[in-house]
């Protein structure tokens, strides 16, 4: 059974919570452990009046069920007062303050589409703008002040608190009237669509602070619609059919950000923008005329093979490309629509599937292996990295993921675009997924031969997906197999199949906390270094070229992130033993910028290690649905044998008991999370996390969510010498026996944790 979603320890502010949807949200959050601020001005449907009864009644309902709630009667235009009410009731500055903010000002609040005739209280105006002009549209002033400006003010008041605690969830409530427009609701529609624009920008600005903002457009019965909707329809549009979506979007497990959802009657759907491929209607050094627009109108409005831009960079990319085509004098002939829109001039699976690229040879030496290892972040700072960096090492090895390099050379130089049935614009080609399987450890030098073939072609609607299989041999012996999943934007719509049994599938990770998390910083020159292994795409080095691709700066190669993740898993679960590596599969989601840190979350399930990579600074997922399969270690020590005889285990067991007895007191004194890496024989033998920051404290075996404030690396023997007082921690640090990562000042609190253990 799935684990229920809990909001224990979270503070939720719901505006407009005295009735309808807002009331339903408040009750649902209260039932699941959240502390709820129930805000409602208590006005009527025209925006007049004020009463505390609506908010008070909801608070009473929450408390009657054992929940925690307070009422607030301020207008959303007084945003600071709302946030202060939450802080005064539940929060502490610098600790948990406002976690979730629901801007619930919808049809249950103020709506200005009623007629002045009391006999027709909710009749839409057929000539709204003409009838009300400025006076009517900006009774709109009330509409805009409450719906749009009020949401902005409340969010602004909560924003810095969310930034400080590195967590926040904001839900803006738009409506179908804002998305599609609605007769007689010009003022309301403008405000509601304005909320969507506000939410989209907040999603971008809040991403790096783990603040997510999403927008919903609910359809539900309310005190307004009950006068115009039949009872049966109202019964089907209960507010309780909307609340589950809101709760999921607000949960810390949910990574959705910048989404727009329609919801009602138990149905939920996500919306996105769609754009035609369009047409270039001018020539270089010539005037553009309305007649040319008229003549190309059908093509301009043709949504066949439409694109779906999701960012402003993606939106501008097409314009930049068009400008370059026009400047090149290619004019209409260069229209990307001509190259990509139709199967007759683009993708023809029957001609391409099964076709072979030219056989390619790849010769390399130990230098290429070392250069690749440096490109994926290995460093002489780490002793166990030396086996991949020094050709004179007794166990000199080639990283398993180097297997993509000869295959990539085959793909890039083999002329994929020259095959029959594959007429596409190479600037539209994206690397979607990657699979690599090794049949033996890669030699550290030699000559490899790769044979590539088109395994299948899928029609994904917005593009074509090419599955390219590449088998690589050494002296006619199969060494490795790669499958490149290549997506060609805009080349879909040729009527092909959407799935293939030839595709190696991605697999989602288990639904639990990761077993281990490793964070590794890339350098500013990471992409410049990685490209020396053969991927010379200027997107990764040239700022001007990156701008053409819609990026602010050059991005890291996806296969570089792939290499980082693979070595994290190999080190964590195979002691860097390359003979244990069997295969790896990943889906590329978003790029990393050189200088950002890559965080790899890992889940062990037998010999399969599921993993996911994120950008630490933004939380953006980089690699998803990923896993590495390992061979069972033949004769290698088991996990229990590796830690057998560690003296430090006894100390950590005692620390665990002390935390259970004195956890709250220790948390107050220390307020930090310590990571420990205990080594034996130069290799990591055990990992521990001492959490004296959360709740009443806890001890975890292994790394815990990667959220340590400081991490110590020390041998089992030296650790015991520190514990019993034979070795001063400072002397151990300066002698290189105790390595520290993170806030080194917290090492001063070690005495609080380790004192008196000499008596054990």
Q: State the catalytic residues.
A: 188
Contacts of 541 by beta carbon, 8 Å cutoff, 6+ apart? 527, 528, 531, 554
* Residue 310 burial (C-beta neighbours within 10 Å; 0-12, 13-18, 19+): exposed
The C-alpha angle with vertex 49 and arms to 43 and 54, in degrees rounded to 5, equals 40
CA torsion angle 219 222 225 229 (round to 10): 80
Spell out the residues 6+ positions from residue 84 whose beta carbon is closer than 8 angstroms to its own: none
Contact 79, 160 (CB under 8 A): no
Whole-Å CA distances, 578 to 407, 520, 530, 603: 19, 20, 21, 20
Token duo for residue 455: 């395994």
- What is the rounded distance in angstroms from the CA atom of residue 174 to the CA atom of residue 158? 20
Strand-pair partners of 268: 263
Question: What region, left, alpha or beta, does residue 304 occupy, with left being phi > 0 and alpha being psi -120 to 50 degrees?
Answer: beta
- Do residues 236 and 242 make contact, with C-beta atoms less than 8 angstroms apart? no
Q: Which tokens sit at 361? A: 């040879």
Q: Is residue 193 within a helix (H) or strand (E), and if so which, with residue range?
A: helix 186-206
Residues paired with residue 599 on neighbouring β-strands, in sequence order: 519, 614
Please answer whether residues 217 and 246 qualify as being in contact, where contact means their C-beta atoms are separated by less than 8 angstroms: no
In 3-state terms, what secondary structure has residue 494? coil
Beta pairing, strands 446-459 & 360-364:
antiparallel
Q: At what angle do helices 558-574 and 366-375 cross, to 10 degrees?
A: 100
Q: Where are the alpha helices (DSSP H) in 301-348?
A: 312-327, 336-340
Q: How far apart are CA 15 and CA 18, in angstroms?
A: 8
């Amino acid at each position: 059974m799935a684990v229920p979603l809990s909001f224990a320890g979270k503070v939720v502010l719901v505006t407009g919570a005295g009735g309808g949807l807002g009331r339903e949200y408040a009750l649902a959050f209260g039932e699941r452990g959240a502390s709820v601020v129930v805000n409602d001005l208590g006005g009527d449907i025209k925006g007049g009046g004020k009463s505390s009864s609506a908010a008070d009644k909801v608070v009473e309902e929450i408390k009657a069920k054992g929940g925690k709630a307070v009422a607030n009667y301020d207008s959303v235009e007084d945003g600071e007062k709302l946030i202060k009410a939450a802080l005064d009731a539940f929060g502490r500055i610098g600790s948990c303050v406002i976690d979730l903010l629901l801007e619930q000002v919808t049809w249950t609040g103020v709506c200005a589409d009623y007629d002045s005739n009391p006999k027709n209280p909710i009749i839409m105006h057929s000539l709204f703008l003409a009838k009300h002009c400025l006076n009517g549209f900006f009774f709109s002033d009330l509409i805009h002040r409450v719906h749009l400006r009020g949401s902005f003010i409340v969010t602004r008041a909560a924003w810095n608190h969310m930034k400080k605690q590195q967590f926040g969830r904001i839900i803006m409530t738009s409506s179908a009237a804002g998305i599609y427009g609605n007769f007689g609701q010009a003022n309301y529609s403008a405000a509601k669509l304005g909320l969507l624009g506000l939410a989209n920008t907040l999603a971008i600005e809040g991403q790096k602070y783990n603040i997510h903002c999403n927008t919903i457009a609910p359809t539900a019965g309310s005190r307004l619609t009950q006068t115009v909707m039949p009872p049966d329809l109202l019964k089907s549009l209960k507010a309780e059919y909307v609340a589950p979506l809101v709760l999921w979007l607000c949960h810390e497990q949910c990574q959705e950000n910048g989404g727009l959802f329609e919801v009602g009657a138990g149905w939920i759907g996500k919306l996105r923008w769609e754009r035609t491929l369009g047409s270039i209607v001018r020539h270089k050094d010539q005037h553009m005329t309305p007649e040319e627009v008229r003549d190309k109108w059908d093509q301009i409005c043709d949504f066949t093979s439409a694109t779906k831009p999701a960012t402003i960079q993606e939106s501008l990319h097409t314009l930049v490309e068009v400008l370059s085509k026009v400047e090149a004098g290619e004019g209409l002939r260069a229209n990307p629509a001509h190259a990509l829109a139709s199967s007759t001039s683009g993708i023809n699976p029957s001609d391409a599937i099964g076709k072979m690229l030219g056989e390619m040879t790849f010769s390399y030496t130990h230098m290429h292996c070392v250069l690749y290892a440096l490109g994926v972040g290995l460093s002489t700072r780490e002793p166990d990295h030396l086996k991949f960096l020094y050709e004179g090492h007794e166990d000199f090895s080639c990283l398993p993921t180097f297997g993509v390099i000869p295959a990539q050379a085959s793909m890039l130089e083999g002329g994929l675009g020259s095959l029959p049935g594959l007429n596409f614009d190479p600037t539209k080609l994206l690397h979607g997924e990657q699979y690599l399987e090794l049949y033996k450890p890669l030699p550290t030098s030699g000559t490899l031969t790769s044979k590539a073939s088109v395994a299948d072609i899928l029609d994904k609607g917005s593009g074509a997906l090419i599955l390219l299989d590449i088998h690589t041999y050494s002296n006619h012996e199969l060494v490795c197999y790669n499958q490149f999943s290549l997506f060609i934007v805009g080349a879909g719509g040729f009527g092909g199949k959407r799935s293939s049994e030839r595709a190696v599938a991605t697999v989602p990770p288990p639904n639990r906390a990761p077993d281990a998390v490793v964070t590794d910083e890339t350098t500013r020159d990471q992409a410049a270094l990685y490209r020396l292994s053969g991927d010379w795409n200027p997107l990764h080095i040239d700022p001007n070229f990156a701008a053409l691709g819609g990026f602010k700066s050059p991005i890291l190669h996806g296969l570089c992130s792939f290499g980082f993740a693979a070595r994290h898993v190999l080190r964590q679960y195979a002691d860097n033993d390359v003979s244990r590596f069997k295969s790896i599969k990943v889906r590329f989601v978003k790029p990393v910028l050189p200088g950002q840190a890559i965080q790899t979350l890992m889940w062990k399930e037998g010999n399969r290690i599921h993993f996911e990579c994120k950008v630490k600074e933004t939380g953006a997922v980089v690699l998803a649905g990923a896993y590495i399969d390992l061979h069972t270690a033949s004769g290698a020590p088991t996990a229990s044998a590796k830690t057998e005889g560690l003296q430090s285990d006894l100390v950590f067991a005692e620390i665990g008991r002390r935390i259970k007895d004195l956890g709250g007191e220790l948390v107050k004194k220390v307020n930090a999370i310590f990571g420990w890496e205990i080594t034996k024989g130069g290799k990591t033998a055990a990992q521990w996390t001492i959490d004296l920051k959360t709740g009443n404290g806890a001890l975890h075996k292994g790394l815990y969510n990667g959220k340590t404030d400081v991490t110590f690396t020390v041998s089992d023997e030296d650790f015991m010498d520190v514990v019993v007082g034979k070795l001063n921690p400072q002397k151990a640090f300066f002698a290189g026996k105790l390595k520290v990562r993170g806030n080194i000042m917290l090492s001063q609190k070690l005495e609080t944790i380790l004192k008196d253990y000499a008596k054990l």
